[in-house]
Structure 1
Amino acid sequence: MNADWLYPMRKQDSTAKTLVFLGDSITASGEYIRFIEACLRQRGNLRAELLGMGVPSETASGLSEAAHPFPRPCIHDRLNQVLESSDPWMVVACYGMNDGIYHPFSEERFDAYKEGIRRLVAEIRNKGAISVLMTPPPFDPESMNASLQPGDAPNFSYLEPYQGYDGVLKLYSEWLLSEHPADDVIDIRSPLIEHIRSKRSYGRVYSSGDGIHPNREGHRIIAQTILKKLFGLSLDLGRMPDIG
């Protein structure tokens, strides 16, 4: 997919387009979606309706850790209703952070994630919509105020995650970037990692959020990456509008 085909074409198209954003609590917060909308409005380029339809704790895999206070919701339990009610032109989905359920890597959990993503894309296509996937953001143990667990710990959860969990997300992201079944994929992991490393260069202390959820600066970077990929807009972080 490229911006010449996707967005500039829509400048001559008077038909309203609906973009639906699916994902877990990172998407459900709505921050990066509001940044995108604010930037498009500021530039007079908004010719679409952006719908944030993320759900906290959600997965694509259908998995849930035993210590989670309730079984994690799965997108497949509500996807048909979402697609019917929104009638999207495009669906942008970000899953993975919760899908490894904060455990060390296992082929079984990885297979459940891949199957969940393939099924998600197939159902979006069956609806006639464009499917775009985002890599999960990084897990940042240095920003966590939690008890990080070694690989041989008896239990893991979002409150007591595996200390090397970002390695799991790295594998999930690499699969999306190399073998994704969707129309396109957006790598938000790499620019977030680059930003965190830059902030911590020369020994500086920097909190990127709570280790799982990016802070506002992180959401700006996610928005910046989506704007460039989908809309062909290159904006410096400092020039992005404040969403209040």
Structure 2
Amino acid sequence: MKRLYIALFLFLSVVFQGRGQGGPLDFPFPIRDAQKILFLGNSITYAGHYVTLFESFLITAFPNSEIETINLGLPSETVSGLSEDGHAQGAFVRPWLFNRLDNVTEQIKPDVVFACYGMNDGIYQPFSEANFQRYKEGMINLYTKLKATEVKRIVFITPSVHEDPVFGLKGYNLVLDRYAQWLLDQRRERRWEVIDIHFAMKGYLMAKKKYDPDFNLAEDGIHPGLEGHRLIAECIIHYFEEMFSAKDFLSECLDHKSYYAHLYKLLEERQEIVKNAWLTYTGHARPGLPVGEPLSKAKKESIKIQNKIRKLQKTSLKRSNYEISSDHLSPFHIIR
């Protein structure tokens, strides 16, 4: 714990900008000043664990902030508009982000948008130049449309890894390697902000498999479990502050005992309510999802959970005052 608190102290002693992973050096809009942060993506984003872990980090760093973190990931969605034959046993074609994007941005008016696409955009087929072009056009169109709104900061996230049951990382993941590398190249070519999770997860997976050939991050090859989401959150946190000990912090969030675990659970509960409410309110073409509560009711429930978070923070602050006298550093004591 002491190591974690020291890392938090180091984090809070520097300016919170985006300098990691080779992105542009100067950003006039720090994320700490955001009022609404929007996450877009497919089913991995919809699952939401990495989004909630990142929100846990934001609240830890800025406990008095009023940042809203809204997850509007949609299962099966693409930016390419492609859909393989017989998708979902022919029940529906893959949703296309641009059928809902304008309404989403108009209704939410985010300051910062994170977008993670690519996994579905190659439609699980061998590499195709035509499919690849559709993905590139979709990402460029997404950037152009977001820049035309009030969004102050756009951060792309590379697709995660695909673990083929037969070919491992030498199957469909080779397609995602191409997609991820193109997106990373846009840091230089278009001055985009891009966070790499693809090659980070690939490296982690390869290292683990050296000692345990049966190890995987996603049981179905596509959707990572908590360990994979923790890796994604770690990459995002390190993008904003390399000195922050994200691994220790995220382990605390998931250990089911610490203050951070209680915070994470409250945020997870709120994310589920708010996500489904906003998805229903803004509209989408993906069947089979829960119908969200009316937005007004969801906001009231969100406020109730926020009050619980404030109470949890106060309890932790009182405890940290005692810990300071015992030669411990508390992040909440420092930023009070």
Q: Is the 8 A contact 2:158 2:198 kept in 1?
A: yes
Match of 1:18 in 2: 36
Q: Is the 8 A contact 2:157 2:195 kept in 1?
A: yes
Q: Is the 8 A contact 2:186 2:192 kept in 1?
A: no
- Aligned pairs, number: 225
1:222 to 202, 209, 232: 232
How far is the alpha carbon of 1:164 from its aligned partner?
1.6
1:68 to 81, 84, 87: 87
Q: Is the 8 A contact 1:17 1:49 kept in 2?
A: yes
Q: Is the 8 A contact 1:8 1:231 kept in 2?
A: no
> CA 1:230–1:184 in 2, change beyond 3 Å: closer, same or farther?
same
Overall identity of the aligned pairs, in %: 37
- Note if 1:30 corresponds to 2:48: yes
Q: One-letter code of the match for 1:230? A: F
2:192 to 173, 183, 200: 183
RMSD: 2.6
Residue by residue over 1:176-224, the C-alpha shift from the partner in whole angstroms, topping out at 9 and shown as x without a partner, is 0113646311101121112112221234421211211111011011111
SS in 1 for 2:70: strand
> CA 1:215–1:6 in 2, change beyond 3 Å: closer, same or farther?
farther
Match of 1:155 in 2: none
Match of 2:180 in 1: 173
The CA distance in 2 between the partners of 1:8 and 1:61, in whole Å, is 29
- Note if 1:208 corresponds to 2:217: yes
TM-score with structure 2 length normalisation?
A: 0.61
- Note if 1:140 corresponds to 2:166: no
1:2 to 18, 36, 59: 18
Match of 1:103 in 2: 125
Match of 1:158 in 2: none
Q: Is the 8 A contact 1:37 1:46 kept in 2?
A: no
TM-score with structure 1 length normalisation?
A: 0.83
SS in 1 for 2:87: coil
Gaps of 5+ in 2: 1-16, 20-24, 255-263, 266-336
How far is the alpha carbon of 1:7 from its aligned partner?
9.6
Gaps of 5+ in 1: 150-161
Q: Is the 8 A contact 2:237 2:246 kept in 1?
A: no
The CA distance in 1 between the partners of 2:77 and 2:247, in whole Å, is 29
Match of 1:82 in 2: 104
SS in 2 for 1:200: helix
Residue by residue over 1:152-192, the C-alpha shift from the partner in whole angstroms, topping out at 9 and shown as x without a partner, is xxxxxxxxxx9721110000011101136463111011211
User: Could you say which structure has the larger radius of gyration?
Assistant: 2
1:114 to 119, 136, 140: 136
- Tell me whether 231-240 or 218-227 shows the greater mean CA deviation: 231-240
Match of 1:153 in 2: none
> CA 1:2–1:237 in 2, change beyond 3 Å: closer, same or farther?
closer
The CA distance in 2 between the partners of 1:115 and 1:198, in whole Å, is 34
SS in 1 for 2:40: strand
The CA distance in 1 between the partners of 2:243 and 2:55, in whole Å, is 13
Match of 1:58 in 2: 77
Higher helix share: 2
The CA distance in 2 between the partners of 1:46 and 1:6, in whole Å, is 23
The CA distance in 2 between the partners of 1:2 and 1:84, in whole Å, is 26
- Tell me whether 43-52 or 209-218 shows the greater mean CA deviation: 43-52
How far is the alpha carbon of 1:230 from its aligned partner?
3.0
